[in-house]
Amino acid sequence: MTGMRRGEISALRWANINLIEGSVRVTEAVEETKGQRRIKDVKTAHGRRQITLPPVAIEYLKRHKIAEAEKRFRFGLGSDDNAYVFTTA
């Protein structure tokens, strides 16, 4: 829906999403080399961009944010805007 690359979505943090404006700022990506992963800045200035989200994505992210917040509180982690949007925990 957004045209974002898989690595950009994997590195997405809540601080980069504005659910009121319906936008996401792309600033980082996950890079995997030789079996290791790291977070890196996007490659070019053009890659650093703001994307307008469609209404269906905004609604999904609102529900997902609530579910992730509930999960964080269950683990005793509290709120953190710097947390990743998509986790496996």
Provide the b/e sequence for 7-43 (b: ≥16 CB within 10 Å): bbebbbbbebbeeeeeebebbbbbeeeeeeeeeeebe
In the chain, the amino acid numbered 72 is: R
Contacts of 47 (CB under 8 A, 6+ apart): 26, 29
Instruction: Please tell me the pTM assigned to this model.
Output: 0.84
Rg value, the chain, Cα: 14
Question: Per-residue pLDDT for the chain (89 aa), expressed as one digit of tens each?
Answer: 788 999 999 999 999 999 999 999 999 999 988 889 899 988 787 789 999 999 999 999 999 999 999 998 998 888 888 899 998 75
C-alpha to C-alpha distance for 72 and 74, rounded to whole angstroms = 5
Cβ proximity of 8 and 26 under 8 Å: yes
Paired with 13 in beta bridges are 84
